[in-house]
């Protein structure tokens, strides 16, 4: 079983759960999923009729090249979605589409390997991390993009290989991690200035940070050290450290702040953590290898996971009940499923 030792959580066993469906949703959830090795974005829905791909949208500018759609987001009003195209000549780009019709509306060229992205309701700007995977090992940063004209208005240097990022709920602060710098970065989204940095430990390679909770906490994956760090934003310090499965990659916290869901990229599993006790209450093996993205429905009912797969395998989308950690549905999408973004819910 799991046990708490001081401020560290030690996982002594892997929990399993019955993967049979516990319930059928009364409403229907819609979300977009990137297939990085097929240059596709899938519109997927989960509702009373099950989990299904509604349609796929081809993305990118060069049909003969694999350009790699990596990150995806829907703006706060739900009218547009944006996808980062990681590979370019030499730079990547972000493309804008209209939800519903999925018509292409424009694009902007950014830095090396644009990755995660989000739009702030407060400023109306989109903040895009330039991961710089294929460039020299040199500092990269965050692009601020005006989305009406798809124009980069500012680029802020933040560190070495910035990646998984999220905005604060009010859109005034932007949080990202530097994979090769080992730090968490807080960016003032209004002034475009780095306000604080927090070193997570010698040699730590973080890959993602969660959206801040209402209690002022964020969670950061230490991918190479099999840890998740709980950071108190007020004191700007690590409050707890969770010992996890191998390769914690992406993560999200439920709306009530009680459950943390983590994808374990190397362990091929999804972890469900009880944040009141600081213990992992369930860990479930995924249907294929290399789980990547995690998205929680706004009502706190379901966690939706993307799985990359390997070789010629398709990508996979899996749905879990958050309360029971039971896997209730799965469906195949394009190869190397990664970025995922919630769009809307119907029938509430």
Share of the chain above pLDDT 70, in %: 92
* 136 Cβ neighbours under 8 A, 6+ residues apart: none
Taking the chain, what is the end-to-end CA distance rounded to the nearest angstrom?
38
267 touches 242 (CB < 8 A): no
- Domain membership of residue 115 as a residue range: 3-346
What the block records as the tokens of 133 is: 């995977």
Q: What is the pLDDT of residue 34?
A: 98
**C-alpha closest to that of 243 among 261, 255, 256, 225:** 225
Q: What is the pLDDT of residue 137?
A: 85
* 6 Cβ neighbours under 8 A, 6+ residues apart: none
**C-alpha closest to that of 144 among 342, 165, 180:** 165
pLDDT, tens digit, for every residue of 93-128? Answer: 999 999 999 999 999 999 999 999 999 999 999 999
Phi, psi of 225 (to 5 degrees): -115, 5
What the block records as the tokens of 325 is: 């950690």
Q: What is the pLDDT of residue 89?
A: 66
Say which CATH number the domain at 335 has: 2.130.10.10
Q: How far is CA 146 from CA 81, 127, 150, 167, in A?
A: 14, 9, 5, 16
- Name the stretches of the chain with pLDDT < 50: 1-21
**C-alpha closest to that of 39 among 90, 101, 99, 92:** 92
Q: How far is CA 119 from CA 19, 173, 183, 248, 266, in A?
A: 35, 12, 23, 25, 30
Q: What is the pLDDT of residue 64?
A: 67
Domains: count for the chain: 1
Beta bridge partners of 207: none
Q: How far apart are CA 167 and CA 54, in angstroms?
A: 29
């Amino acid at each position: 079983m799991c046990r708490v030792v001081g401020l560290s959580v030690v996982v002594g066993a892997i929990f399993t759960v019955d993967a049979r469906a516990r319930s059928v949703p009364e409403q229907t959830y819609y979300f977009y999923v990137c297939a990085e090795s097929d240059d596709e974005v899938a519109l997927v829905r989960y509702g009373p009729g099950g989990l299904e791909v509604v349609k796929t949208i081809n993305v990118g500018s060069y049909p003969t090249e694999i350009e790699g759609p990596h990150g995806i987001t829907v703006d706060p009003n739900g009218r547009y979605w944006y996808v980062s195209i990681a590979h370019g000549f030499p730079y990547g780009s972000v493309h804008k589409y209209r939800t519903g019709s999925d018509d292409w509306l424009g694009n902007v060229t950014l830095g090396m390997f644009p990755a995660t992205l989000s739009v702030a309701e407060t400023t109306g700007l989109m903040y895009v991390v330039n991961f710089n995977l294929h460039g020299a090992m040199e500092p990269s940063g965050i692009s601020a993009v005006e989305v009406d004209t798809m124009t980069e208005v500012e680029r802020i240097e933040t560190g070495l290989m910035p990646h998984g990022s999220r905005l604060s709920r009010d859109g005034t602060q932007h949080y990202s991690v530097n994979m090769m710098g080992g730090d968490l970065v807080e960016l003032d989204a209004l002034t475009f200035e780095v306000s604080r940095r927090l070193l997570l430990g010698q040699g730590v390679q973080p890959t993602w940070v969660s959206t801040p909770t209402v209690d002022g906490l964020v969670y950061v994956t230490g991918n190479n050290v099999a840890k998740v760090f709980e950071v108190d934003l007020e004191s700007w310090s690590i409050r707890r450290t969770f010992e996890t499965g191998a390769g914690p990659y992406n993560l999200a916290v439920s709306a009530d702040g009680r459950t943390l869901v983590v994808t374990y990229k190397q362990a091929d599993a999804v972890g469900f953590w009880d944040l009141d006790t600081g213990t992992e209450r369930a860990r479930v093996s995924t249907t294929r290898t290399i789980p990547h993205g995690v998205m929680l429905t706004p009502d706190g009912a379901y966690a939706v996971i993307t799985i990359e797969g390997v070789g010629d395998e398709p990508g996979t989308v899996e749905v879990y009940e958050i309360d029971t950690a039971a896997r209730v549905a799965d469906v195949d999408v394009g190869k190397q499923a990664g970025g995922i973004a919630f769009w809307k819910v119907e029938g509430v």
